[in-house]
Amino acid sequence: MRRKISGWVIAVLCAILVFGCGGASSLDEVKLYVAPDGNDAWSGTLERPAADGSDGPLATPGGAVNRLRQLRAEGSIKDAPVRIVFQGGRYCLAEPVTLSPEDSGGPNAPVIFESAPGADVTWDGGVPVTGWRAEADGTWSSAAPPGCGAPGVPVSALWINGQRRTPARTPNARNVNGDFPRDEELFFIEGPVTETDSAGKEVSSRTAFRFRPGDLKPRPGLEDARVVVYHSWETSLCRVSSLDEENRVVTFTSPAVWPYGQWVKNQWYFVEHLAEALDQPGEWVHRTREGLIRYMPLPGESPETVEAFVPRLRQLLVLQGQPEAGRYVEHIRFRGIAFEHTDYPIGQEGHHDAQAAHSVNAAVEWTGARYCTLEDCRIAHTGNYGLWFRRGCQRNVARRCAAYDLGAGGARIGECGSPAMENEAAAWNEIDNSIFLDGGRIFRGAVGLWIGRSSYNRLSHNEVGWFRYTGVSVGWSWGYDPSSAHHNTVEYNHVHHIGQGQLNDMGGIYTLGISPGTIVRNNCFHDIRSNPKLYGGWGLYTDEGSSDILMENNIVYNTTTGGFHQHYGRENRIVNNILAFSSNEQIIRTRQEEHISFYFLRNIVYYDNSRLLGSNWKDDKGYVTEGNLYWNTAGPVRFGDDDLAGWRARGHDLLGMVADPKFAAPEQGDFSLSPDSPAFALGFVPIDRSRIGLYGDASWKQMPEILAARLGLDRIQP
């Protein structure tokens, strides 16, 4: 693993050397060095330790920050750029590296934290697990490192040789993270438990449910376990308060967001971090009372040679400005640095979110940062989100980064609430040419890329794959109230393998609220797979109140329940898209409204079943469809009960057509059009898929495939 990633970093750094340092002058810059064999008492001005041991590089990222502050206090820096160069190695952090407004650089004098040429540099929030002892039952055991976990609160993850291992669970799962679960891999709630609310009304409980015979029972280590319950588009991570085996009622320490049984009668759940469930190679458990980590090894692993880590810190890099006071962290750059291993322990209160794991923080989290960049970095093996540009973050850029093996989602911009003042708005940020893979490893409802109440941001040329809920989410206002999320651009992204058969009510792209100026264009969304027993695995999904949004030139295929779905909204424009191969309906309209909900223009709808329209199309007002091309490879095209003539008689697609668009190889995902395609007569503009996704050298564009193989994502069986 280290050799592979080192090659990637070398290539990145060579590019940096060729194209320059982005405005920092090497003639007057202050340079500091950090190395694993350094000393924070030294000056940091030497690249290597002096022969007499009198001076040399610094030893830690925190030591470098302290030295930077010391030089500023002494007046040694003034307006000079600062370059802090890290020699190769793993820097184990005792606390997050935190930068404040006084650490800022200037427009022509940035502060740069970067890896040395060819060096593999990691800022690590984890702790090695060593001293493994082979037990008689075939497992290994080791003492949990100090500071990791607490009584009744196990660490959130164990990594062996760079791979996340599965917390001991029952029932067992055959795929990574329980993807595409079969019935035998889950328990099913038998029914809700009723209770009396404060108004004297009988309601279904949010803290208890009735389980089926034999599924749950008092077990050793139950105090460490958590029950993972699926609620359509989110999960609850529950801690057991009591278990009544006679009446088959389990009660939890805190309420879920919704009553159990609200969304589906036979609600899914399983139990993890349970000592008694340690029965399958690759599983582990942290027995907190004994202070032991136990692991059942995979074939070929040896306790003497494995490299094992557990997380200790929740966050690794924090930029902490004070935007409400107009004090920002500015002009700081990070290049070629890896951030690895963070925790997100689930305490006795459990964890419940309403959507998108919105309360979960990030390993790299910035507040009140402006003109800062994260470039050629990676964020991996987290218990939380990877990156978050929070309140007051403006004009920051993350480019050519990779975030993978994530406890929650990939990256977030903005907050759930609107800013109290202009200084606190998150706006004009950019995430470009970056990789986000394998999220929702703990918080399945997390999102690949999320923009909350934030405007003027750009998500471009990213690869987003293997998340268990939505790929990209934009906006955070339900209904038609004024929204502070608008003028966001989502373009040229490749978003795929979303949902993985676990949750529902999701999209490749999901939008909320009034959002004038927001554009979703030239993206490719495919393999959006929700729980097939329920609903809601869509490609383009304009949810509650989505308004004034343009979705154009997107390719969408292989979805569970539709290429496009509008719940309700106003005057969205769905133009020049390719929507193909939904397993159920192809285009869905849910709510009938008095105004124009959407314009559906010059799209190609291509499918292989008998279901074109889904939900509510009986009225002929409130939507406009014109100039679209429809083709069903399995039979006639029917608009509900109508053929094309009947559809036109209702006022729709007067210029539309039923014809084969003549795609090159649609079953293989090649939707390029033959020169004689009838789509051109309708004004359809070809979509150049070669421009979608990552750009740059071949090794960078191949990185998602390499990471997917390393993470085992290519072995997931639907």
Task: Identify the pLDDT of residue 220.
Answer: 87
pTM of the model: 0.95
DSSP string covering 562-603, please?
A: EEEEESSEESEEEES-EEEEESS-SEEE----SS--EEEES-
Strands 458-460 and 489-491: parallel
Cα–Cα distances in Å, from 613 out to 301, 524, 590, 636, 642? 53, 22, 11, 13, 11
Q: State the burial class of residue 45 (Cβ atoms within 10 Å of its Cβ: 0-12, 13-18, 19+).
A: middle
Task: Identify the pLDDT of residue 352.
Answer: 98
Residue 185 is given by DSSP the state G
Task: Identify the pLDDT of residue 9.
Answer: 40
Q: What is the CA radius of gyration of the chain?
A: 27
Tokens standing for residue 623: 């939507």
Task: Identify the pLDDT of residue 12.
Answer: 40
What distance lies between CA 688 and its chain's CA centroid?
A: 26
Report how far residue 271's alpha carbon sits from residue 173's, in angstroms, rounded to the nearest whole number: 11
Instruction: Please answer whether residues 65 and 34 qualify as being in contact, where contact means their C-beta atoms are separated by less than 8 angstroms.
Output: no
Look-up of token digits 């004994």:
290
Instruction: Please answer whether residues 343 and 155 qualify as being in contact, where contact means their C-beta atoms are separated by less than 8 angstroms.
Output: yes
Strand runs (DSSP E) across 87-201, as ranges? 89-92, 97-99, 111-115, 121-124, 126-128, 133-134, 140-143, 159-160, 163-164, 166-167, 169-170, 187-196
Task: Identify the pLDDT of residue 16.
Answer: 39
Which of 101, 102, 96 shows the shortest CA–CA distance to 70? Answer: 102
Look-up of token digits 């951030």:
339
Instruction: Please answer whether residues 229 and 236 qualify as being in contact, where contact means their C-beta atoms are separated by less than 8 angstroms.
Output: yes
Where the chain has pLDDT below 50, the residues are: 1-26
Question: In the chain, what is the greatest distance between 2 CA atoms, to the nearest angstrom?
Answer: 92
